[in-house]
A and B are shown apart, each in its own frame.
Chain A
Amino acid sequence: MAEVLRREVVYLITAIVTVIMFIEFFFIGTWNVAEELRTWATIIANISLGLGAVRLLSEHAKNIQKRRAGVWPFSIWLWIIFLITILSGLAGYVTTHDAMKNPLYNWLFKWPYTSLGQTLYAITGFYIFSAAYRAFRARNIDAALLLIAGCFVILTNAPIGEVIWSGIPVIGRWFLDYGQVPAMRCFLIVAAFGMLAYGFRALLGRERGFYGEVVGE
């Protein structure tokens, strides 16, 4: 029975939902049944956020309990920050209906979170700079073409390119319009066909990864 629930019922639900969405999109426009299903999906997504948080805390609680080397102090830190953030946010929401109005919650987001987030994102610039130096070598004709196109596109995106030579943005845009856009179109169309094939395979129960099964099980 458990095996049936694990496979056939899941296949059946997937098939029913797919057919309903298909009919709504291509034949009806807006259908109450489909709307109801999407609302459920949104509710389930919200629940999964909560489940994710519980799972995260439980994994880190295990780290603390087992004193896992090199990890458990960070797990304690995660628990502390998690509790401070969620309690201060809830306090703000309960008192004013706006979590951001709690000074501690606001401070946590405004100063540590924002600064750390932007710093992490900005650091990638340094890696890209170093990676461009090490990887952009004209080892063969293909790499040389990529390198030339890359340099033109880089300088097209910066106003200094136009100051150096007015032809740079013209050539850069040519590479973008006649090189990048068609290639991206091909990629998107092929990916869409791939998604269609994947969808049909999932619908027919042949895409085992879709159902959370381990391939080769």
Chain B
Amino acid sequence: MSEEELTFWEKLARIDRRVFYWILFIGLMIPFIRPIVFPIAISPSTRDLYEGIKEMVEPGDVVVMNIAFGVSAWPECMPAFCACTKLLIKEGAKIIFWGAYYDVDMTYQEVLRRCEDYFKDLKYGEDYVYLGYYPYQEAAVAQLAASIRSIFKTDNYGTPLDEIPMMKNVDKATDIKLVLSGDTGDVCDYYIRQWRIPYGTPVAEIGIAMLGSSYMPFYKSGVLFGMSVGVRGGAELEKLIGEPGEATIRMGAINISHILVVIAVILANIGYFASRRK
């Protein structure tokens, strides 16, 4: 059947994909030209993450921030990761950064840049330390729980761990107050299996939106003490720490894209049913 012979309803059910690409492209530009801000309700998993950090962390406690997301996931994970970093610094925690992604150096530098106001009063080696990359596999995470020094002899810049003041009495999972894992994959599973279950170290997830469904059962069962899901989780955390930022602005694009998807699905089904009745 040629394009001219199609009825309006049939055309509605067969819109060219390029039309959608352009609609989405133009739609996504709107919130960046004129921000669209709606109130954001805090989801229970984000609230538990925020309150868990506030309740558990005492000044001087050592916390691990695991970077298991690459630069491609910065838009989704970075706002929540930075919000948690800021919250930990406010609570007086000492932070160990390490990562399971080969571009972890970039992400660490970006965290420092985005949280510059918080890090300017902190001293490297006393308040935070960066150990660098470890190979992406469960054996490494298990061994980190048993002995950090068996995986990292030095920090990322070649200083032996024993010469770093905040690492003096820190070597195993029991010396760590909690782990926050920023993920695009399944690295948080390793921390659940190798840190949370055998040593009882509290673990929380800062993941891309897709991981919300994967880790929700762990959160619901109390294995994860909290969870931030995608940009929305980042926006919620920004609201909770009282510093609206990148994720809050980005929620405008989320609103537009999500509503466009729903409209497209409704149009497709109207066209489908109308052409079927004919």
Contacts and interface: CB of A to CB of B under 8 A. Distances in A.
Interface in A174-193: 176-177, 180-181, 184-185, 188
B151 A39 contact: yes
A118 B71 contact: yes
B72 interface: yes
A111 B273 CA distance: 48
A100 B105 contact: yes
Interface string B236-263: 0000000000000001001101111110
B265 interface: yes
A110 B106 contact: yes
B7 interface: no
Given A159-B251, A163-B38, A129 B258 contact: no
Nearest to A120: B72
Given A25-B198, A118-B71, A126 B265 contact: no
B268 A159 contact: no
A109 B257 CA distance: 29
B74 A30 contact: no
Nearest to B235: A159
Contacts of A185: 217
A151 B265 contact: yes
Chain B interface residue count: which class? 35 or more
A17 B185 CA distance: 26
Interface in A10-53: 25, 29-30, 34-35, 38-39, 41-42, 45-46, 49
Interface stretch (B50-58, B91-99, B141-149): B141-149
A140 to B, nearest CB: 12
A155 B269 CA distance: 18
B259 to A, nearest CB: 6
B139 A132 contact: no
Contacts of A109: 71, 103, 105-106
B156 to A, nearest CB: 7
A133 B39 CA distance: 28
Interface of B: 15, 17, 20-21, 24-25, 38-41, 70-75, 103, 105-106, 109, 134-137, 139-140, 142-143, 146-147, 150-151, 156-158, 198, 209, 213-214, 216-217, 220, 230, 232, 251, 254-255, 257-262, 264-265, 267-269, 272-273
13 contacts: A35-B143, A39-B150, A39-B151, A45-B137, A109-B103, A117-B71, A120-B72, A122-B75, A129-B260, A133-B267, A133-B268, A158-B258, A176-B216
Top 10 A-B pairs, shortest CB-CB distance: A45-B135, A41-B139, A117-B72, A158-B258, A38-B143, A121-B72, A159-B38, A160-B255, A130-B17, A133-B264
Given A38-B140, A109-B106, A126-B21, 6 more contacts: A41-B143, A45-B136, A45-B140, A126-B24, A157-B230, A162-B41
